[in-house]
A and B are shown apart, each in its own frame.
Chain A
């Protein structure tokens, strides 16, 4: 497998009147070609900011801090000039958003909007009619019935699911290698969500793009992701393959997240696992483990030092003191890899 994007030590801060909000604090991860990576975490954990950095969309008062690097096929995109960004965005890397109604231009016909993206990146010097043909093919590809009629419709004439399909068509018409999907199904009903997820999987098979999926819905993650990156308070607490994270979580936050949602296919009325408290203040984030104040298994050291990221093999990495062999793991309901397990 070859790496498409390599994020190294990315830090992003927003300078507000109240102080420096450290949204992302030194994260590193890779995205493989043609794979789906899910960024998971609560709101405010920095997952959207991370994806915006990949597209150079961090605007004042946000600043990507010194020492951050994002390599896209070997080039550090953070050193891009405006012109290079224009060539990059929409061509190499596209984004789809939660709310298609807001993201599409309400006064422009759907066909025009899809074509616009290709016109901006018309490297092959296609003629107008060829572009139009491509746009209609794209609409067919995303499963819109009667694509010809749809070209001449306005976004408000389409249903939520159809709009999301149009947005996907717009994003993919340039054949990008990376698609960033920011909560693409959150605003949709479950039956429509299932359709869109299925569509994304099919398109990935056909077009081979890598997908970064930002979501808080673990069900969606289980369904679509190959790799999972769990973020908390601007840091990556755990990452690994889909099955590793779901069946062998090593971080108490990941574990609690997995067990806080009731399972539809299981019949138990036990109390759900909760995570007490709330996320720390990102203006003054703790120097130690950020989850320590909410962690039921926190040890003294957790409040003193930040845990280092430990590699457990198979690409499974975790940053938690419980993985230390000296850790007190009595009562910890999952396998930590540290302490003495019977």
Chain B
């Protein structure tokens, strides 16, 4: 034996049992969980910092000395410099300022479209899944129709018919994306409502609304958040595509998508004009996806042993 046993006079006395210490109480706060989760993932830290910078920059856009829409042909295609960080576009507008204003539009459209999408999708999904029966069948066929529609084509048609603008864009974007969220939430709700803890709540006399809000919603939050983060990304991308096709935000206002569209004319001579908005879209979408993933794992009840 490497460690020698030292017997003292109390060695063979019955041990006094102290009440077991429980350690520090872990007050689970969602916020703390999210922060911890982000901290433990260096990529997520970058994503969050990037998003914060982008949002602040977009908010502070009016501080820029340039008017994003004012033509200044003298500076046509000016190269990036200390005055014009990103240079100027074909009409001599400051590209950096345009990118900031464009960011406002893209982020706002992306975020609002996501909110509307998630709200409609989750509501219909929970309703359909929890109540079930005929209502479920009806709602799901309705959802299937939306999933089956050629969304891009219809979006283009709708955008041309309706008055162009941000609100129209948001509504059109959400109209064609809630269906998949509804599908996910319905499937989750269906499996949750058979679970013992929901049955226990029902046995206690809980009504449907209480069960939906207290037990179903918190437990489907994970997949919903993932869907939401993907929703922001896809809304930004769809907005870009629509703008790229000339159907999004009306000229002369900028969005990252419309900037890309304008840049394509000069893609061979001035590739940088396409690179800036392209890179911004790429990084923003990527960051939102990473953030969604982090939120999901922060929301998952962890098995702490």
Binding site for B on A (CB under 8 A): 18, 277, 281, 283, 292-293, 297-305, 308, 321, 324, 326-328, 330
How many A-B contacts at CB < 8 Å in the complex?
39
Does B81 touch A at the CB level, under 8 Å?
A: no
For chain B, which range describes its interface: under 10, 10 to 19, 20 to 34, or 35 or more residues?
A: 10 to 19
Contact of A277 among B13, B14, B20, B305 (CB under 8 A): B20
Contact B15 A298 (CB under 8 A): yes
Asked if A328 and B12 sit within 8 Å, CB to CB, the answer is yes
State how many angstroms separate the Cβ of A160 from the closest Cβ of chain B: 24
Is B305 a contact partner of A300 (Cβ separation < 8 A)? no
Can you name 17 A-B pairs with beta carbons within 8 Å? A18-B305, A283-B305, A292-B15, A297-B14, A299-B11, A299-B13, A299-B14, A299-B15, A300-B10, A300-B11, A301-B11, A321-B12, A324-B12, A327-B12, A328-B12, A328-B14, A330-B14
Residues of chain B contacted by A304 (CB below 8 angstroms): 11
Given contacts A277-B20, A308-B1, 14 further A-B contacts (CB under 8 A): A281-B305, A283-B305, A292-B15, A293-B20, A298-B14, A300-B10, A300-B12, A300-B15, A301-B11, A321-B12, A326-B7, A326-B12, A328-B14, A330-B14
Assess whether B5 is interfacial by the CB under 8 Å rule.
Answer: yes
Grouping DSSP codes into helix (H, G, I), strand (E, B) and loop, the B interface class, with mixed when no group exceeds half, is: loop
Tell me which of B10, B12, B13, B17 has the highest count of chain A C-beta atoms within 10 A of its own C-beta. B12
Q: List the A side residues contacting B15 at CB < 8 Å.
A: 292, 298-300, 302-303
CB neighbours (8 Å) of B5 from chain A are 305
Q: How far is the CA of A283 from the CA of B304 in the complex (A)?
A: 13
User: How would residues 1 to 30 of chain B score, 1 for a CB under 8 Å from any chain A CB and 0 otherwise?
Assistant: 101010100111111010010000000000
CB distance from B284 to the nearest CB of A (A): 31
Across the two chains, which residue of chain A brings its CB closest to B15?
A298
Picked from B1, B12, B17, B20, the residue with its CB within 8 Å of the CB of A301 is: B12
* Closest chain B residue, CB of each to CB of A321: B12
Q: Give chain B residues whose Cβ lies under 8 Å from the Cβ of A327.
A: 12
Contact A300 B20 (CB under 8 A): no
Q: Which of B255-305 contact A (CB under 8 A)?
A: 305
CA distance A281 to B13 in the complex (A): 26
